[in-house]
Amino acid sequence: MKTLVTTLVVLFITTLSFSQDSKYGVRGGITISNLDYKDVPINENKHRNGFVFGVYAEYGLTETLSVAPELQFSTEGSNHENFANDYLNLPVLLKYSLIDRISIGVGPQLGLKVHANDDGFKNLVFSGVGLVEINLFGDWSIDARYNYGFSNVFDDELLPEAKNAVWQFGLNYKI
């Protein structure tokens, strides 16, 4: 885990040093999340509707390629009150501009659970993010993202393996 964090910090600092264009902004939106259980048929696993908000930076590497670290609060998990968690997420996305107004992106995300520590859930989770973003007008854009957990959300080995599966639909404003 130390290697991952060190790599992300070095990438972030290197990007700041070589960036051609810097943008900063705020983001807010809705989340539709669930837990994806491995090899366990679950009858009652309803999705959780919630929200996401945060800040981001975007550093241009070339005319069409940029890196975008973010810090965001996100509601995740399932609708069952014992399986609903809130996270402080740090996604680092590599974005590619397809055409003038449409970008796609992928990257890793580190999530820190922001409430009770001894509740059977891991405090730190790792996931991957896919993104499509459409620039609307001026400094406004919308995006759709899918985050899928690479790590089990449960601490307890007695519980089945489950990973966060989250759709996010956001509205972004560049400051």
Instruction: Return the SS3 of 69.
Output: strand
Q: Tell me the CATH number at 132.
A: 2.40.160.20
Q: Give the global pTM.
A: 0.81
Across 38-174, the runs of DSSP E, i.e. the strands, are 48-60, 65-77, 84-99, 102-113, 124-137, 140-149, 162-174
The pLDDT of residue 5 is 57
Domain count, the chain: 1
Q: d(Cα 61, Cα 56) in Å, to the nearest integer?
A: 16
The pLDDT of residue 76 is 85
Q: In this structure, what DSSP letter does residue 83 have? A: G
Neighbour tally for 21: CB within 10 Å: 11
Return the sign of the alpha-carbon dihedral for residues 71, 75, 40, 119: positive
Extract the tokens encoding 162.
């489950």
Q: What pLDDT tens digit does each residue of the chain (175 aa) get?
A: 566 556 655 555 555 555 568 999 999 999 999 887 777 666 566 788 999 999 999 999 999 999 999 999 998 877 777 677 889 999 999 999 999 899 999 999 999 999 766 678 889 999 999 999 999 999 999 999 999 999 988 887 777 788 889 999 999 999 9
Instruction: Return the SS3 of 11.
Output: helix
**Owning domain of residue 141:** 2-174
Q: d(Cα 79, Cα 35) in Å, to the nearest integer?
A: 9
Extract the tokens encoding 83.
């399986």
